[in-house]
């Protein structure tokens, strides 16, 4: 089985301060899953945030940051709170199990571990997670355009903001507004308007193609493109590619005072998350640039760094 196949079957993070325990768990899982390991709570959190495992097997008793503290930190993070955790520990009393479950663990396995039991529990919780992920995706997807919805955008903005802040990386945002969309609906009808928005959403997804990019329907005929780890220059280049992509579509807009073809206006903002700054400041800055683009005659973009 290839490494890619193992990743598809599930990425498992094993956390234990004893290498012999890691080796036992790796031996039980390595033929079916991609296995990562950490020997401290701090390293576990670093890997959980950076590698996004599907499941974590976590030792309760470790020097320094123990498993309970790790579990608390995972639950507090917007990008790690949904990762299921199975405690794997030598502790065996009902009180120990209750404490693990109260900390947010999905399950509890006692040492010494049985490889068959570990594999069965892992499969069960990966199945549950995939079902939960599928349901969550439905609640976070715009029903018309099939891009992310406003709720998904708000969640990802918060998570990516914190991630870029930790890594001292920039984050950019493009707000995209379809020009004179009410006139388009009035002239061509709402069904044609819906089809138009679908085509615009697809064009945005083709242009914003990095794994970390997010295209969302922000509201009505307005879209948002969230661009973590991209500076203003990179965002400007993407906006120019989007203009070219929409021009190729040649969506007729006979009632537009701007162009005989469908166009968009865009506001672009970039920030380096730090200090007391909050994600809302990035949205406000992009919205201010979008307003300037509309005042400039539409079918253009305005760009700037948020303070």
Nearest to 62, CA basis, from 50, 51, 71, 53: 71
The sign of the torsion formed by the CA atoms of 275, 278, 283, 287 equals: negative
CB 54 within 8 A of CB 12: yes
Distances 31 to 2, 28, 143 between C-alpha atoms, Å: 10, 8, 39
DSSP tally for the chain: helices H, then strands E:
11, 10
160 is catalytic: no
- The C-alpha atoms of residue 163 and residue 158 are separated, in whole angstroms, by 9
**Start-to-end CA span in the chain (Å):** 50
DSSP letter string, 21-46: HHHHHHHHHTTTSEEEEESSHHHHHH
Sole residue written with tokens 């990425």 = 11
Please tell me which residue in 30, 46, 97, 221 is annotated as part of the active site. Answer: 221
- Helix ranges (DSSP H) in 104-221: 115-139, 150-167, 181-188, 190-207
259 DSSP 8-state letter = -
Active site residues: 221
């Amino acid at each position: 089985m290839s490494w890619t196949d193992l990743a598809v079957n599930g990425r498992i993070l094993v956390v234990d301060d004893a290498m012999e325990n890691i080796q036992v768990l790796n031996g039980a899982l390595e033929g079916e899953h991609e296995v990562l390991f950490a020997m401290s709570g701090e390293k576990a959190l670093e890997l959980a945030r950076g590698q996004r495992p599907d499941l974590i097997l976590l030792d309760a008793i470790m020097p320094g940051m123990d498993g309970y503290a790790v579990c608390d930190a995972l639950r507090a993070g917007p990008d790690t709170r949904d990762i299921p955790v199975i405690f794997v520990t030598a502790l065996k009393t009902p009180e120990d199990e209750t404490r693990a479950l109260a900390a947010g663990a999905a399950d509890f396995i006692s040492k010494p571990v049985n490889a068959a039991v570990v594999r069965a529990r892992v499969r069960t919780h990966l199945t549950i997670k995939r079902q939960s992920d599928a349901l969550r995706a439905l609640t976070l997807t715009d029903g018309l355009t099939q891009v992310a919805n406003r709720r998904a955008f708000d969640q990802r903005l918060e998570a990516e903001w914190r991630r870029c802040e930790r890594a001292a990386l920039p984050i950019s945002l493009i707000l995209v507004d379809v020009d004179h969309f009410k006139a388009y609906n009035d002239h061509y009808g709402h069904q044609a308007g819906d089809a138009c928005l679908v085509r615009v959403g697809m064009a945005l997804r083709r242009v914003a193609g990095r794994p970390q990019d997010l295209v969302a329907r922000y509201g009505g005929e307005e879209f948002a493109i969230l661009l973590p780890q991209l500076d203003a220059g990179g965002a400007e280049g993407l906006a120019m590619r989007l203009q070219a992509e929409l021009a190729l579509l040649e969506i007729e807009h006979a009632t537009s005072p701007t162009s005989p073809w469908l166009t968009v206006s865009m506001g672009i903002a970039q920030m380096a998350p730090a200090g007391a700054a909050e994600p809302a400041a990035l949205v406000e800055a992009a919205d201010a640039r979008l307003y300037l683009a509309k005042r400039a005659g539409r079918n253009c973009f305005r760009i700037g760094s948020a303070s």
